[in-house]
Amino acid sequence: MGGKIFLLKDGDELQEMVETPYDSEDLLQQLLKNHPALLAGDQIDPTEPRRWLLITREMGVPDSDDSTGRWALDHLFIDQDGIPTLVEVKRSCDTRTRREVVAQMLDYAANSVQYWNIGDIIRSFTHTCGEKGVDPEEELAAFLSGSTDPEEYWDIALANLRQGKIRLLFVTDIIPPELKRIIEFLNEQMNPAEVLGVEVKQYTGRKEKTLVSRVVGQTMRAIDTKKVRSGKPRQWDRESLLLQVQERAGDESVRIVDHVLEWAETHNFSLKYGKGAHEGSATIGLDLPGGNYCRIITVNGGGNIAPNFDMLLGFPPFDQREMRLKMLNKLGRESNIRFDPNKVDTWSNRPLSPLADENHFHAFCKTLEWVRGKLEEHHRLAGAQSG
């Protein structure tokens, strides 16, 4: 410590402000929670300054499918492009700043892209809004300002998470040279992930307090690498999705995916195409009473299929693990698309190739009809009880 800045007051009064350590790590964490702008989004991306949606403090990070959270990430934000941003805070007096915090953050990154699901993220955001006394839908709408549909925003966030397109931010009052070199090295090597440090220094005067943020890690090599490999979200449609399936999985997979999408459209399911920067997707779902859209199954550009168990968790009766297991067992036993029974709370995918067999295809369609029937039955019963 010991640096100074000067505050010019009332035109000619110069007030000296001295660099001062934070009283506690929690104080710095609370400042970030209340003032996300301290993460210096304008320095991270000067052309399109990053804005931050706080999902939660102390976000649980599991290390297996059945874990509720082995670790707790200090903060989870998502920016306006749906990029999950993991923030870990340490004061410079913490001797772990240059050692454990790096390994810890890499643990968070590796396990979050594997085990987080969008349902848990939405629930954490809703809880955070509840603590602030604000409506989560209004909070999200104000953040997006009409630029993206809220449902599409969560879809984009999930796609970024699954593709490893995340941002890791080490936040501290002083970033020592050793940590700076590690951050720069990781940022140059990791793609599409971004690794940066944010130094938030505190200066105090007689009565005033000033905070100054500085971003480190953006070497020219890292910027050039990410320019080449990164991409903006794009709106996929049936034609572009099938073209990608053909490129990645071949003609037979194109025929199967086209057959599935055609069947879903002609049997009154709702199709929503994704906005992934690199991978296309189409989600087969249902428009339910009250304006709710329930995602059931997603087909991606690799010719794979994934049940949306992380979203079905929010729609009775599939909030019950037993019902999700029944769906998984139907897909495996009747359609020969076999999923891990330990993954009925999260996302996993399998090739659609078994549906080349017409019997398996018809069984798959019956499973979708069964899911629809259970969802609609619950809504009818709930409506009758409320009436």
Identity (one letter) of the amino acid at 338?
A: R
Residue 230 pLDDT > 70: no
Across the strands, what pairs with 167? 85, 194
Min mean pLDDT across 9-13, 26-30, 51-55, 229-233 is at 229-233
With a pLDDT cut of 90, the percent of the chain lying above it is: 53
The two structure tokens encoding residue 80: 């306006």
pLDDT at 97: 54
- Rounded Cα distance, 354 and 349, in Å: 13
SS3 219: coil
pLDDT at 308: 85
pLDDT averaged over the chain? 87
In our burial notation (b when 16+ CB lie closer than 10 A, e otherwise), range 32-50 reads bbeebebbbbebbeeeeeb
Residue 99 pLDDT > 80: no
The pTM of the full predicted model, rounded to 2 decimals, is 0.67
Q: How confident is the model at residue 229 (pLDDT cuts 50, 70, 90)?
A: very low
- Rounded Cα distance, 336 and 42, in Å: 50
pLDDT at 241: 95
β-strand 281-288 against 270-273: which pairing, if any?
antiparallel
How many alpha carbons lie under 13 Å from residue 357 in its C-beta half-sphere?
A: 9
The two structure tokens encoding residue 293: 């859209």
105-156 per-position pLDDT tens digit: 999 999 999 889 888 899 999 999 999 999 998 999 889 877 677 888 898 8
